[in-house]
Amino acid sequence: MRTTVFSTPLLTPLLRLISVAILRLIGWRTRGEPLDHQRCVLIGAPHTSNWDFPLMLMVVLKLKLRVFWMGKNTLFPFPFGWFMKWLGGIPIDRSAAHNVVNETVRKFAEHDQLIVLVPPEGTRKKVERWKTGFYHIANNASVPILLGYVNASVKEAGFADFFTPTGDFDKDFAEIMAFYKDKKGLRAENC
């Protein structure tokens, strides 16, 4: 995979130290430990504000993950698209039907270590139901789902545990949603 902010020699360790200092300064705790084998779909929820992005970058740097995240293609305009990709971004065109699930599953088949972060709400606004692509990617690629979260009510962010899809979508989805039930985003009105 390409070099990103999470894997740039010399710069990544410096950014990690800065991230740890800023998180401490603003009073945010992180939950989780660095992973020995980095191969999963990482949920990023709740996604309620533009400030989720810099918070996510700092948390991921602190926890020493090498993450690629999906974002709408309008976040990658010329001439800044290269920078967003260096930050780990994968542009997704939401205006047309694309086979994002199968393409991501193929990437998992090609790479022994890969973490793809997916904001399942698909937007920062309040939604009635999450998009389900993250589940289908994990299930079809036979990789676990890492339950990443923000909980602004206690100023904590990170990841809790792995969830292994069973193929029983309704049961699995209900269990995943139960975990996020009490998590509050930076803008609670969008949860």
Answer whether 115's CB lies under 8 Å from 6's CB. no
Tokens 């200092």 correspond to what residue?
Answer: 21
Read off φ and ψ for residue 76, nearest 5 degrees. -120, 50
H/E segment holding residue 162: strand 156-163
CA–CA distance, 158 with 56 (Å, rounded to integer): 8
CA separation (Å) from 136 to 119, 161, 169? 14, 18, 9
CA–CA distance, 169 with 127 (Å, rounded to integer): 19
pLDDT in tens, 24-67: 999 999 999 999 999 999 999 988 888 888 999 999 999 999 99
pLDDT in tens, 78-127: 999 999 999 999 888 766 656 889 989 999 999 999 999 988 875 556 66
pLDDT score recorded for residue 166: 97
Whole-prediction pTM: 0.90
CB atoms within 10 A of CB 66: 18
